[in-house]
Structure formats: structure tokens, C-alpha cells
Amino acid sequence: MDNERIDQIVDGHQGQASSLIQILLDIQSEDGWLPREALERVGEKLHVPLTRIQHIATFYKAFSLVPKGRHKVHICVGTACHVRGASRVLDTVQDLTGIKPGETDLDSRFSLETVNCLGCCALGPVVEIDGKVHGKISAADTADVLDSYK
């Protein structure tokens, strides 16, 4: 993201440091992550030290300081999904993609995260990819579901 676009986002929030979290969310929504250069530019525009911005960006799980894959895979490991085999599904996804939770594969196709609940416990185990819920998924179904995301 170039400095001009960052400036537009900051100016859209009237350059208020109190809007820092929303500004970071807006930047991340366009790039999928928060590059250091973007954080530095936000700091310059808002007159906020980079260390403060980095503290906020690392405190909230919603922010990522590393590039994410084209497809965001969330596997529910909450109680209902866990007892229905979510750990086997997670193991299978890890085997198929070669990544662990919090990582992105080498070709930037998938980023993997575990979550404690996706709010659809009756469908467990649940995998959400790019916001689409795949319920009652088995380890055997996992490869077909992942293959549908090219």
C-alpha cells in the first residue's frame, strides 16, 4: 500500500489518534496484513510512536504483521467441535497444507488459524474458509474441501 492511500485512510478518520485501531483495521482490510512501512506512515501522520502502534497491532489477535494467504482457514476447536473430531480435521489440514495454526503456506494459498467457537456448534466439527462454513466435516472430507479453493 502506498503512502497516498494510507494518508487517505488516516484523513478519513480526521487524523485522530483515538481512531488508531479503526485506521489499522481499514489498512489491513485492503492488504490483508499490516506492513511495517504502513505502521511507520500511520505513526508519522498521527504523531504516535511506532512502538505504541506495534504494541496495539500485536496485542489484538485481529491484526497480522505478516502476509496472509489468499484463503483464510479457521478450524473450530471449541468443546462441541472437539468432541466430534476437530483435532483430526486440524491434523489433516496441517498435513495437507504443511502449515500450523498461525502460519501461511509457501505459495500464499492458505493461512490457518484455530478458533474457540464459530457459533454453529450443532454443525461440528466446523471449518470456515473465507467466511464460508463447512459443517459436519470429517478428516476424509478435508482434502476435497481444500481442493475446491484454488
Q: What is the pLDDT of residue 1?
A: 83
Bridge partners of 134?
127
Q: What is the pLDDT of residue 25?
A: 96
Q: What is the pLDDT of residue 122?
A: 96
The CATH code for residues 71-147 is: 3.40.30.10
Q: How far, CA to CA in Å, does 28 sit from each of 9, 23, 24, 77?
A: 11, 9, 6, 26
List the chain pLDDT tens, one digit each, 150 residues.
899 999 999 999 998 999 999 999 999 998 889 999 999 999 999 999 999 999 999 999 889 998 889 999 999 999 999 999 999 999 999 999 999 999 999 999 999 999 999 999 999 999 999 999 999 999 999 999 999 998
Q: What is the pLDDT of residue 32?
A: 85
Rounded CA separation 94/42 (Å): 35
Q: What is the pLDDT of residue 62?
A: 84
Look up residue 39 and give its amino acid: L
Domain with CATH 3.40.30.10 in the chain: 71-147
- The residue among 45, 136, 138, 53 whose CA lies nearest residue 90 is 138
